[in-house]
Amino acid sequence: MSTVLLEADVVAALRAANRNEIFVHELYAALQQPTNLLLLDVRNEEEFQMWRIETRHTPETLHLPYFFFLEEEEKAVDQVKERVQDGRPVVVVCAKGGASDYVAERLREAGVYAINLAGGMVEWGDFYDVRPVTEQPDYRLYQVDRVARGCVSWVFISKGEAAIVDPLRYGERYVKLLEQQNAQLKLLLDTHAHADHISSGPELAKMTGATYYLHPYDAIHPFDMLPARMEYTMLHDGQRLKLGALQIEVVHTPGHTLGQVNFLVTAPDGETFCCTGDNLFIESFGRPDLGGQGERWAPLVYDTIFGVMKQRVPGHAWILPGHYASPAEANAEGLYVKRLEDLWRENRSLHFDDKERFVEFVLGHLPYMPPQYVQIKRVNIGLSSPSLDEADELELGKNICALSG
Task: Give pLDDT, residue 36.
Answer: 87
Task: Give pLDDT, residue 240.
Answer: 98
C-alpha to C-alpha distance for 365 and 359, rounded to whole angstroms: 10
Is the Cβ–Cβ distance between 150 and 398 less than 8 Å? Answer: yes
C-alpha to C-alpha distance for 257 and 318, rounded to whole angstroms: 22
Task: Give pLDDT, residue 91.
Answer: 96
CA atoms within 13 A on the CB side of 313: 31
Catalytic residues: 94
Angle, helices 294-303 vs 355-363, to 10°: value is 130
Q: What is the largest CA-CA distance in the chain?
A: 66
Within 10 A of 346 (CB to CB), how many other CB atoms are there? Answer: 12
C-alpha to C-alpha distance for 11 and 8, rounded to whole angstroms: 5
The CATH code of the domain at 7-124 is: 3.40.250.10
Coil, helix or strand for 262?
A: strand
Q: Which residues fall within 8 angstroms of residue 276, CB to CB, at 6 or more apart?
A: 191, 253, 262, 319, 320, 321, 322
Whether domain 127-394 has CATH 2.60.120.10: the reply is: no
The closest alpha carbon to 330, from 126, 59, 57, belongs to 57
Delimit the domains of the chain by residue range: 7-124, 127-394
Is the Cβ–Cβ distance between 309 and 31 less than 8 Å? Answer: no
C-alpha to C-alpha distance for 376 and 383, rounded to whole angstroms: 10
- 261-266 vs 246-252, strand pairing mode: antiparallel
Cα angle: 177, vertex 328, 288; to 5 degrees: 85
Task: Give pLDDT, residue 8.
Answer: 56
Residues in the chain: 405
Q: Per residue of the chain (405 residues), what is the pLDDT tens digit?
A: 333 444 556 667 777 677 899 999 999 988 988 888 999 999 999 999 988 999 988 999 999 999 999 999 999 999 999 999 888 899 999 999 999 999 999 999 999 999 999 999 999 999 999 999 999 999 999 999 999 999 999 999 999 999 999 999 999 999 999 999 999 999 999 999 999 999 999 999 999 999 999 999 999 999 999 999 999 999 999 999 999 999 999 999 999 999 999 999 999 999 999 999 999 999 999 999 999 999 999 999 999 999 999 999 999 999 999 999 889 999 999 999 999 999 999 998 899 989 999 999 999 999 888 899 999 999 999 999 999 999 988 998 888 888 865
Is the Cβ–Cβ distance between 338 and 280 less than 8 Å? Answer: no
